[in-house]
Chain A
Amino acid sequence: MTLQDLLMLDLPPLLAALLAGGTCGLLGSFLVLRRESLVGDALAHAVLPGIILGFAVTGVASGLPMLAGAMLAGLAAVGLIAVVQKAARLDPGAAIGAVFTTFFAVGLVLIEVTGARSVDLDLDCVLFGQLETLVWTEGRSLAALVDPAALAALPRQLGLMAGVAVAVGLTVAALWRPLKLICFDPGYAAALGLPSRGLEIGLAMMVAAAAVAAFQAVGSILVVAMLVCPAAALRLMTDDYRTQVLGGAALGAALGGVGYALAGPVPAALGIGVALNAAGVIGTLGGLAVAAAALARRRASVTPRPAEPALPGSAPGSA
């Protein structure tokens, strides 16, 4: 494996995995804390028809049209879930399940109908991502890293992912306290006059945007792993809100990066002729991270916590 291989073939997917993993890991904590992990799954699937339509209408395979389409589809899905829940008096799980599978199915049909399939949005890419197809043709030497012309030839998906990552990061930072409050006690947030509903929709829109970014990296099926696994692992490791949120982002990026490396470059460097599916490795690592965190927590909880007056009605599930 040469430096040129590394720059041309491995750098773009590695960056994509880092960006998608970090963005999803950051937002995942809010979903997990709100006990809405399934909403992440739903959004990750529901954005598909929006992506396809954004592509079909403009003919551009990446960039803002697809992002806009995805966010519109996400908004429509969130709205429809609320309507179905209310109109049909279904429990939230049923309403979410009915809406997001329908959206996803419509997306699959649209791939065929719109002819998006013939370009680069085939079923494999939708389901498993397209990390390995990201190539930097101008990455011939280290000098290219500082050459604007060469950098401009980086895959456009990377630009979208970087843009989403920065936008989501800034938004989370700017809305730090309101987001914390709608995770803990949305009713109280509303009573204080904070725009509770708007914040919830904003969070859903960020998740939709992150899902588009991650969708290109690991595919729809594993987006939920990127959203939930880092946050769930951190949930088992820390009782500090800031560590939870920022740690989730860091762990998500790490899982993305390490997962990609283990799938291709590392076996290649070792001379093992096995290239694994990067999305599969990332998803597997995510599951292992949660399992490891759970084991570590079990071990830690063998040492007794500070003595507590065990009153009836004390919080359940703290063990």
Chain B
Amino acid sequence: MSAAPPPLSVRQLTVAYGERPAVWDVSWDAPPGLTAIVGPNGAGKSTLLKATLGLVPALSGEVRFFGRPLAEVRDRVGYLPQRASVDWDFPATALDVVAMARYPRMRWWGPIPRRHREAARDALAQVGLADLAGRQIGMLSGGQQQRVFLARALAQDADLVLMDEPFAAVDAATEEAIVQVLRDLAASGRHVVAVHHDLGTVPAYFGSVLLLNTRVFAAGPVARAFSAAAIAQTYGARLPVLEQALLSGAEGGGG
């Protein structure tokens, strides 16, 4: 039996802002399951995600989702942007925002069809926000807003969800809710590639890892690729912070 194509496959991808390369010659296959992209600030983690989705132009390289170009499998790929990328004072309710995930599947005008509304409600329930469906998004806490974005990604009902810093600046309840959602996704055979900034929780939350600092430093199962040596190389000289993180990772890890 031939192996199924990886959820995400990147070949020789290079992205630059002006003359400074943000992502340099990255070739990487995301394995099935839950994968973290880890690296220091400015390492090109978000840029890599955006480039795979065509949101920032790549200088060169090739991207495949499930072995196909994105345009052919767009409905199988979900996306959770950074929370800070939008204006949360926008006049919309939580349900409005989650329903946006279904826009490609409905007419561009008129009321939102009931089944899509129900799907959006289900997604909100999945992140523990069923009661806040009608709440203005500007009135939600930061963690709740993050969960609204997560619900929107879920409502896409995709096989692979790309998440940009899902755990950034969230409260404990939200972090727990997100972890539960990640596990549910993995249990139902879905895949997640998430930009992640907290080295300490990588072993607990994710099965695989990509260590990125403009170029690939290591990739593979956490148990093998997430080694102290590889992390040190990826992060360069920032060892004191790093060692701390590794220590807490070793304590909380083993997953």
**CB within 8 Å of B: which residues of A?**
33, 35, 89, 173-178, 180-181, 183-185, 187-188, 190-194, 235, 238-241, 243-244, 305-306, 308-315, 317-318
Q: Are A239 and B136 in contact (CB under 8 A)?
A: yes
Contact residue among A173, A241, A317 (Cβ-Cβ distance under 8 Å from B92): A241
What is the CA–CA distance of A279 and B156 in the complex, to the nearest angstrom? Answer: 48
Q: Are A192 and B55 in contact (CB under 8 A)?
A: no
Contact residue among B18, B96, B103 (Cβ-Cβ distance under 8 Å from A178): B103
- Residue of chain A at shortest CB distance from B139: A308
What residues of chain B lie closer than 8 Å to A314, measured between beta carbons? Answer: 140-142, 145
What residues of chain B lie closer than 8 Å to A308, measured between beta carbons? Answer: 139-141
What is the CA–CA distance of A275 and B182 in the complex, to the nearest angstrom? Answer: 68
Name the interface residues of B137-191: CB closer than 8 Å to any CB of A.
137-143, 145, 152, 156, 169-171
Smallest beta-carbon distance A193→chain B, Å: 5
Contact A311-B91, Cβ < 8 Å, known A184-B86, A191-B53, A192-B104? no
Contact residue among A35, A89, A176, A310 (Cβ-Cβ distance under 8 Å from B108): A176
Contact residue among A175, A193, A244, A313 (Cβ-Cβ distance under 8 Å from B142): A313
What residues of chain A lie closer than 8 Å to B169, measured between beta carbons? Answer: 312-313
Interface residues of chain A: helix, strand, loop or mixed (majority): loop
What is the CA–CA distance of A314 and B90 in the complex, to the nearest angstrom? Answer: 14
Q: Are B85 and A177 in contact (CB under 8 A)?
A: no
Contact A191-B86, Cβ < 8 Å, known A89-B18, A176-B109, A185-B81? no
Q: Are B109 and A173 in contact (CB under 8 A)?
A: yes
What is the CA–CA distance of A177 and B104 in the complex, to the nearest angstrom? Answer: 10
What residues of chain B lie closer than 8 Å to A190, measured between beta carbons? Answer: 53-55
Q: Are B87 and A181 in contact (CB under 8 A)?
A: no
Contact residue among A35, A193, A235, A313 (Cβ-Cβ distance under 8 Å from B104): A193
Contact residue among A193, A239, A318 (Cβ-Cβ distance under 8 Å from B91): A239
What residues of chain A lie closer than 8 Å to B138, measured between beta carbons? Answer: 239, 315, 318
What is the CA–CA distance of A309 and B152 in the complex, to the nearest angstrom? Answer: 22
What residues of chain B lie closer than 8 Å to A239, measured between beta carbons? Answer: 91, 136, 138
Contact residue among A89, A174, A238 (Cβ-Cβ distance under 8 Å from B109): A174
Smallest beta-carbon distance B108→chain A, Å: 5
Contact A317-B55, Cβ < 8 Å, known A194-B103, A239-B138, A305-B139? no
- Residue of chain B at shortest CB distance from A173: B109
What is the CA–CA distance of A181 and B97 in the complex, to the nearest angstrom? Answer: 9
What is the CA–CA distance of A222 and B139 in the complex, to the nearest angstrom? Answer: 35
- For chains A and B in complex, what number of residue pairs have CB atoms within 8 angstroms? 107
What residues of chain B lie closer than 8 Å to A243, measured between beta carbons? Answer: 91
In the assembled complex, 17 residue pairs joining A and B whose CB atoms fall closer than 8 Å, in A order, are A175-B109, A180-B100, A181-B103, A184-B86, A184-B87, A187-B55, A190-B54, A192-B100, A192-B104, A193-B74, A239-B91, A241-B91, A311-B141, A312-B142, A314-B142, A315-B140, A318-B88
Contact A177-B109, Cβ < 8 Å, known A89-B18, A190-B53, A241-B96? yes
What residues of chain A lie closer than 8 Å to B106, measured between beta carbons? Answer: 177
Q: Are A244 and B89 in contact (CB under 8 A)?
A: no
Q: Are B90 and A177 in contact (CB under 8 A)?
A: no
Name the interface residues of B35-88: CB closer than 8 Å to any CB of A.
50, 53-55, 71, 74, 77, 79, 81, 85-88
Smallest beta-carbon distance A304→chain B, Å: 12
Q: Are B145 and A315 in contact (CB under 8 A)?
A: yes
Q: Are B87 and A35 in contact (CB under 8 A)?
A: yes
Contact A315-B96, Cβ < 8 Å, known A173-B109, A174-B109, A194-B104? no
What residues of chain A lie closer than 8 Å to B109, measured between beta carbons? Answer: 173-177
What is the CA–CA distance of A241 and B89 in the complex, to the nearest angstrom? Answer: 11
What is the CA–CA distance of A312 and B101 in the complex, to the nearest angstrom? Answer: 27
What is the CA–CA distance of A180 and B103 in the complex, to the nearest angstrom? Answer: 10
What residues of chain B lie closer than 8 Å to A191, measured between beta carbons? Answer: 53, 55, 77, 79, 81
What residues of chain A lie closer than 8 Å to B77, measured between beta carbons? Answer: 191
What is the CA–CA distance of A315 and B94 in the complex, to the nearest angstrom? Answer: 14
What is the CA–CA distance of A315 and B86 in the complex, to the nearest angstrom? Answer: 10
Q: Are A306 and B139 in contact (CB under 8 A)?
A: yes
Contact residue among B50, B86, B91, B137 (Cβ-Cβ distance under 8 Å from A240): B91
Question: Which 3 residue pairs are nearest across A and B when measured between Cβ atoms?
Answer: A315-B88, A313-B142, A313-B169
- Residue of chain A at shortest CB distance from B106: A177
- Residue of chain B at shortest CB distance from A29: B91
Q: Are A238 and B91 in contact (CB under 8 A)?
A: yes
What is the CA–CA distance of A318 and B141 in the complex, to the nearest angstrom? Answer: 11
What is the CA–CA distance of A313 and B91 in the complex, to the nearest angstrom? Answer: 19
Smallest beta-carbon distance B94→chain A, Å: 12
